[in-house]
Amino acid sequence: MVTGKKTIILGIVVFLILATGWFLGRALIQRPDPIKIGILHSLSGIMAGSESQLADATLMAIEEINRQGGLLGRPLQPVVADGRSDWPTFASQAEHLIKREQVKVIFGCYTSASRKNVRAVVEKYNHLLFYPVPYEGVEESPNIVYNGASPNQLYIPAVKWSMDHLGKRFFLVGSDYIWPRIANTIMKDAIFALRGEVVGEDYLLVGSTDVGKMIKKIAEAKPDVILSTIVGNSNGAFYEALSSAGLDSRKIPSMAFAVSEVELTQLDPQKLAGHYSCWSYFQSVDSPVNRAFVQRFKERFGRKRVTNDSIEAGYFGIYLWAQAVKEANSIDVREVRRFLADQSLEAPGGMVYIDGDTQHTWKTVRIAKINPKGQFEIIWTSGKPVRPVPYPIYRSKSAWNQMIEEYYKAWGGAWANPGDQTAHGR
């Protein structure tokens, strides 16, 4: 009798073990596979300070979507790759993400050099890249969604506002690579069309802090306004030298296109107070959506962290893609691309739309003044989203494309003037 009871108990135990194993196995079998998303930014090298924060914003958006249940009943799985501030590495990492990791979309790139190299890869595999940075324009690709501002949403309104409020004589400065060269050409065309005057133009090798000759030329030319496409650590040297030469914002204000909240945390706000920047988004945008976004970002990454234009675009790009996925009811790249046109979203900076003709983004334009506390006070806005025009009408598409190619050839098959150093630029 005891033996019989033991047998029954043993049988029950075996049954429970088998049943538990069966249920666990079913749970594992039924667990949906994650949707892999590529994030490609520089996490090391000279661009890491700017780009790593864009990666953070993209990761935050992914976390939010996963808390809401993911997409199509599946969680999103970020696959992060380091472009190492080197554009050939960006190309090889993009290929790795597509072929080896089999991601369904890539969010990333910061420099125009990295984007142009990754463009060749996503077009080769008919894949998809979301690019979050304002850039020089003069480009369209069916495989890229451009979430940063195009020339008519940045340079041209900044020139017009400067002529109306600061003066008509301009000195243009920049880091010597494709973004500043083309952006400054666009601004010169606008200045001439508006009957202003360009009194000088000068460039630094990317990363150079040797600004003495540039400051001397500015002092001699006596412009009303400086238009600056200088990037990276060159900005600190430039504004320090301007101040030391007595050319602060009260005497010659500058309008910058690569000085954002992130850069202000790394520079002396007293030396930059009174200068201007033009972007689509500033952290100081006063709206419930933006206040909530800034709060979440700081809670996630630290109270001292700031948001900026590219961080915001890196964030809302995920949501625009997610909307297209839902409408397509598929994660297939070709299917999703069909549903990208005219996607819209109330982003932290206001309503944004993907333009169906160009895959650039309708965005609001804003100009802000730097205050002594190291933040931006918005002083002008377009009031509503502006339609993107990637190719400015002052020249033909063929003329713009020829100009791009001439710079590429002149720099030895690179997108920056190499000088005597390896240069990498936006």
Residue 129 scores a pLDDT above 70: yes
Provide the mean pLDDT of the chain.
Answer: 91
- Three-state secondary structure of the chain: CHHHHHHHHHHHHHHHHHHHHHHHHHHHHHCCCCEEEEEEECCCCCCHHHHHHHHHHHHHHHHHHHHCCCECCECEEEEEEECCCCHHHHHHHHHHHHHCCCCCCEEECCCHHHHHHHHHHHHHCCCCEEECCCCCCCCCCCCEEECCCCHHHCHHHHHHHHHHHCCCEEEEEEECEHHHHHHHHHHHHHHHHCCCEEEEEEEECCCCCCCHHHHHHHHHHCCCEEEEECCCCHHHHHHHHHHHCCCCCCCCCEEECCCCHHHHCCCCHHHHCCCEEEECCCCCCCCHHHHHHHHHHHHHHCCCCCCCHHHHHHHHHHHHHHHHHHHHCCCCHHHHHHCCCCCEEEECCEEEEECCCCCEEEECCEEEEECCCCCEEEEEECCCCECCCCCCCCCCHHHHHHHHHHHHHHCCCCCECCCCCCCCCC
Residue-wise pLDDT tens digits, 354-398 = 999 999 999 999 999 999 988 999 999 999 999 999 999 889 999
Residue-wise pLDDT tens digits, 208-264 = 999 999 999 999 999 999 999 998 889 999 999 999 999 999 999 999 999 999 989
Q: Which of 263, 291, 267, 298 is nearest to 277 (CA)?
A: 263
Residues, the chain: 426
Mean pLDDT of 288-313: 97
Residue-wise pLDDT tens digits, 28-43 = 455 689 999 999 999 9
Q: Which of 130, 129, 135 is nearest to 150 (CA)?
A: 135
CA distance 127 to 304: 36
* Banded pLDDT at 267 (limits 50, 70, 90): confident
pLDDT at 9: 55
* Banded pLDDT at 24 (limits 50, 70, 90): very low
pLDDT at 2: 46
Q: Out of 8-12, 46-50, 112-116, 172-176, which region has the weakest mean confidence (pLDDT)?
A: 8-12
CA distance 214 to 208: 12
pLDDT at 46: 78
Neighbours of 381 (CB within 10 A): 16
Residue 22 scores a pLDDT above 70: no
Mean pLDDT of 137-164: 97
pLDDT at 21: 52
pLDDT at 233: 81
Residue 142 scores a pLDDT above 60: yes
Is pLDDT larger for residue 267 or for residue 211? 211
User: What are the two backbone dihedrals, phi and then psi, of residue 74, each rounded to the nearest 5 degrees?
Assistant: -125, 145
- Rounded to the nearest angstrom, the gap between the alpha carbon of residue 106 and the centroid of all alpha carbons in its chain is 13
pLDDT at 5: 55
pLDDT at 424: 40
